[in-house]
Amino acid sequence: MGARQANVSQHLAVLRQRGIVTARKEGANIYYRIANPKIIKACDIIREVLFEQLAEAEKLARVGGESR
């Protein structure tokens, strides 16, 4: 991921404390998963909105560039 393990561990600890993810330990490994499937749906909606905004900004940039 390009992030330091200590930093990722801190973020996962916060997500676990807030009930966003659950964890299970198997030996030396800890596996995390999203606690509620609605969180995934919410992230999908946010991603859609961001892509729509990006497409609109690109469209405006093209139109603005053509008028020069």
pTM of this structure? 0.65
Domain check: are 41 and 11 in the same one? no
Domain check: are 31 and 5 in the same one? yes
Where does the pLDDT of residue 68 fall: very low under 50, low under 70, confident under 90, or very high at 90 and above?
A: low
Domain check: are 1 and 31 in the same one? yes
Q: What is the pLDDT at residue 67? A: 61
Domain check: are 52 and 68 in the same one? yes
Domain check: are 51 and 67 in the same one? yes
Domain check: are 29 and 41 in the same one? no
Digit-coded pLDDT (tens) for 8-58? 999 999 999 999 999 999 999 999 999 999 999 999 999 999 999 999 999
Q: How many angstroms separate the CA atoms of 4 and 19, rounded? A: 23
- The residue segments making up the domain with residue 65 are 36-68
Cα dihedral 17/21/25/26 (nearest 10): -170
Digit-coded pLDDT (tens) for 48-63? 999 999 999 999 898 8
Task: Work out how many domains the chain is built from and give that number.
Answer: 2
